[in-house]
Amino acid sequence: MDEYITLVRETVHKLMPKNAKEVEWWVKFRKPEDILKKHATYLYLEVVLYVLSFLTFCHAMRSGGRFRWLWFATIAHGLTVESLSYFVPDIDNFWHAQSMVMFLGQRLPLHIILLYPVFIYTACAAVSHMNLRWWAEPFAVGLSVVLIDIPFDIMGIKLLWWTWHDDDPNIFDRHYWVPWTSYYFHATFASSFTLLFFGLRRLLCRPGLKYQSCGFFCELPILIITGLFAMPLGILQFVPVYHPLHDSMGIHSEVCVLLLLAVYALIVWSADRTPYEGARLSSSSFSAITLLIHLHYAFYVYLVFNAKPEGERSYGLHQQIGNCNVPVKVMTPFGQVLKKNKFLCVDRYDEGYFNFKCVKKVPAANTEWYTICGTPYENHAEYILVVCSFCAIGVFWFMHLLFFSGPQPRTQKAPRKQHRD
């Protein structure tokens, strides 16, 4: 026992930061006034996500049962996805701007961790009103998450909230500078998360209502397994559609994504054609999720009309500047070897959402920390049309789920009625 305690102490000592530089690797803070001055919309996003995540937390605590475990499972899933994305070379292809609170070598903003309940918890809570069959619900959640994500992705990249690797083959095909595979990722990861979270409940816990908690010792393993393995299961969904079509046949990522979403939609539609009893009671009322949906989409409508991307300045960690011809291998699940350039070539990069016109000097070779400058809309009216259209579709979709489907699932069985003699 003494040897075990000594080993634990030595391990903890090794992991503990030894100096200020190591502390900054784990967590670093940035003054909000600095962000407001140079990158105002990013500060707005951070505050909005704090508010929206708080709404999801309130909804989970008030609803009780498995809603609470669902909320924390989305946090666990988000930590897994973000952490692995920074340290696995084949998927290390994006860099967040610097927010007020940064973790993991200033790669992970706090508000991005909270984005996962805003996206996935909201979608699960809304889709739960549909009372779908178990085999269709994950795909409805995946579609709902994509609808939440589209305006976020389109405005986020245009306003320099993050940057993408310039020529990574997995994110090369773009939609308003958003990789098509970003939508694929959101759909597959959210559907895999939902399948695991509710599927494990059926396998590991005693029978009961879908959102009825089975207790700490049953729910905690489900939370951990879902948090760790939803990402690998989501990646597996790239294998039957994306990789053979895109990597082997050279088919554009747009086709792969639309094909996937069409399959998802058909599965949901086929299940909804024969709904369970009580799936059309339309007895829902205004809730934190309803407020969240309206605030979420209103924020992006506001941004597309009022934000000036040419005035945004993002200083922080970006793709390293360097030689234009240093290829790096990218392995596919089928063993095919693709290539990407290790460095960002300042002489011939293809990222129309930023340039270096606002700085006096272009960053030198081997630089990772530098400032990039936003670019004006090529067609502002088109951005307004696209963003507002997707926001309207999103509001329409979620309001039908929340107000024209069934009630929110119960977390406890209804008490038996007592008969009076």
pLDDT at 417: 53
pLDDT at 3: 62
Phi, psi of 385 (to 5 degrees): -65, -50
Q: Are 129 and 408 in contact (CB under 8 A)?
A: yes
Q: Which of 302, 288, 325 is nearest to 159 (CA)?
A: 302
Instruction: Work out whether strand 162-164 and strand 108-109 pair parallel, antiparallel, or are unpaired.
Output: unpaired
Q: Are 134 and 198 in contact (CB under 8 A)?
A: yes
Total residues found in the chain within this entry: 421
pLDDT at 415: 61
pLDDT at 419: 47
Segments of the chain scoring below 70 in pLDDT? 1-20, 283-285, 414-421
Q: Which of 259, 45, 237 is nearest to 157 (CA)?
A: 45
Say which residue the tokens 């809304």 belong to: 126
Domain ranges of the chain: 24-310+380-403
Burial of 418 (0-12, 13-18, 19+ CB in 10 A): exposed
* Numbers of helices and strands, H then E, in the chain: 14, 12
pLDDT at 184: 97
Strand partners, 316: 370
Q: Are 125 and 67 in contact (CB under 8 A)?
A: yes
Q: Are 91 and 333 in contact (CB under 8 A)?
A: no
- The torsion defined by the Cα of 251, 254, 256 and 258, in degrees rounded to 10, comes to -150
- The torsion defined by the Cα of 184, 190, 192 and 196, in degrees rounded to 10, comes to 180
Question: In the structure encoding, which two tokens stand for residue 77, read together?
Answer: 């899933």
pLDDT at 355: 95
Q: Are 195 and 73 in contact (CB under 8 A)?
A: no
- Give the distance from CA 270 to its chain's centroid: 27
Strand partners, 108: 103
Say which residue the tokens 């460095």 belong to: 343
